Homo-oligomer: A and B are copies of this chain.
């Protein structure tokens, strides 16, 4: 049996204001992808949606797949985009749409939990793991599953579900499953497996693959995610979860996601494509690469912090070697007088999320790389001023 659940740090209030009256002007704690807004403003009317009053009223959708609330047009654009990027296999996989990949994660837990087990199935992930995993697994104290901490510390032969995030949130590495036991199932969270964040090194073909529109294009407010699911029974159970949880997913959001994703694919497939730097993945990869260059320069010229070192593998999408430019920087505080990096940066006016929330040391913080320019500039300035 796995180890007893570790004591969870209190879930962070990621979307609330600072509760202790201090002014924390720069919030880089969440991954709110506002950086992409500039690109979508430049697209202007091309990717707008118009929804007449009578459209999309029914609970039901017209598609024939397992997921009865999936809009066929969105399914089409998902398949098209994965084919373009080459980051995931879709032929032979069912698609389940969700209100973001957070809901789909919970749907997958529900689907993979044995309904008649004597005790909850263990859910593990290799530290540092996404801080939301323990909070989301535990908030309802489900009898079906429970958080069992760091996958590397998991022992015994009890059934388990391992959650693998690739590129990893918070540190950006291209993780693979740590455990290889027969009684294990794996949920692959591929939220950041897009060309702007990482080289596309292989065409993912896992049992369950989660994606989110939020981190693909920056449209977090639309609340759309999708899962590619190999096993039909698992797809049915995930669909059932979403039926009981929210009776499906907004059609307005699905339509919007389809439109915007279609715009991206169109720009690559058009007979007369726009200049390469205006195509979405090239543009956003350039922005991410530029930000990481500035961050590394600032960190290297100072001595107070350090960053992970990444490989530069071949990217199947671009055909060239590409560095990793994750959505978050896993920053480590190297100063002797600053063991708690989150508090240290907060005293300098920057809110980040401390390592303990990710099962890691307090010397680490996760810093969003997706905020607006002025907030990113303040981060660079602060690092340089600290020295």
- Give chain B residues whose Cβ lies under 8 Å from the Cβ of A141: 142-144
A211 contacts the other chain (CB 8 A): no
Contact with B along A128-160 (1 / 0, CB 8 A): 000010011001111110000000000000000
Give A89-137 interface residues, CB cut-off 8 Å to B: 99-100, 102-103, 106, 110, 132, 135-136
Contact with B along A237-266 (1 / 0, CB 8 A): 000010111111111110010001001000
Give A26-83 interface residues, CB cut-off 8 Å to B: 30, 32-34, 36-37, 40-41, 43-54, 56-60, 68-69
What count of chain A residues pass the 8 Å CB interface test?
A: 69
Question: Chain B: which residue is nearest A69 at the CB level?
Answer: B15
Interface centre among A68, A103, A221 (most CB of B within 10 A): A221
Q: In the complex, A144 Cα to B142 Cα: how many Å?
A: 8
Give the number of times this chain occurs in the complex, counting copies: 2
Question: Contact check: which of B30, B40, B69, B106 meets A57 at CB < 8 Å?
Answer: B40
- Give chain B residues whose Cβ lies under 8 Å from the Cβ of A68: 15-16
The reply to whether A247 and B40 contact each other, CB–CB distance below 8 Å, is no
A265 to chain B, nearest CB (A): 15
Q: In the complex, A214 Cα to B52 Cα: how many Å?
A: 16
Q: In the complex, A224 Cα to B219 Cα: how many Å?
A: 19
Given contacts A57-B218, A139-B241, contact A51 B256 (CB under 8 A): yes
- Give chain B residues whose Cβ lies under 8 Å from the Cβ of A60: 15, 32
A376 to chain B, nearest CB (A): 16
A306 contacts the other chain (CB 8 A): no
Question: Chain B: which residue is nearest A51 at the CB level?
Answer: B49
- Give chain B residues whose Cβ lies under 8 Å from the Cβ of A248: 15, 221, 223
Interface centre among A11, A142, A253 (most CB of B within 10 A): A253
A201 contacts the other chain (CB 8 A): no
Q: In the complex, A279 Cα to B164 Cα: how many Å?
A: 53
- Give chain B residues whose Cβ lies under 8 Å from the Cβ of A51: 48-51, 256
Question: Contact check: which of B58, B103, B143, B244 meets A135 at CB < 8 Å?
Answer: B244
The reply to whether A250 and B247 contact each other, CB–CB distance below 8 Å, is no
The reply to whether A243 and B49 contact each other, CB–CB distance below 8 Å, is no
- Give chain B residues whose Cβ lies under 8 Å from the Cβ of A44: 52-53
Question: Contact check: which of B11, B41, B250 meets A250 at CB < 8 Å?
Answer: B250
- Give chain B residues whose Cβ lies under 8 Å from the Cβ of A343: none
Question: Chain B: which residue is nearest A143 at the CB level?
Answer: B141
- Give chain B residues whose Cβ lies under 8 Å from the Cβ of A49: 50-51, 252
Question: Contact check: which of B36, B50, B102, B140 meets A142 at CB < 8 Å?
Answer: B140
The reply to whether B53 and A46 contact each other, CB–CB distance below 8 Å, is yes
Q: In the complex, A245 Cα to B247 Cα: how many Å?
A: 14
A220 contacts the other chain (CB 8 A): yes
Q: In the complex, A139 Cα to B143 Cα: how many Å?
A: 10
Q: In the complex, A224 Cα to B243 Cα: how many Å?
A: 14
Given contacts A51-B49, A250-B253, A260-B53, contact A59 B32 (CB under 8 A): yes
The reply to whether B222 and A56 contact each other, CB–CB distance below 8 Å, is yes
5 closest A-B pairs (Cβ-Cβ)? A141-B143, A47-B53, A221-B251, A40-B54, A99-B246
- Residues of chain A having any CB pair with chain B under 8 Å: 11, 14-16, 30, 32-34, 36-37, 40-41, 43-54, 56-60, 68-69, 99-100, 102-103, 106, 110, 132, 135-136, 139-144, 214, 218-224, 241, 243-253, 256, 260, 263
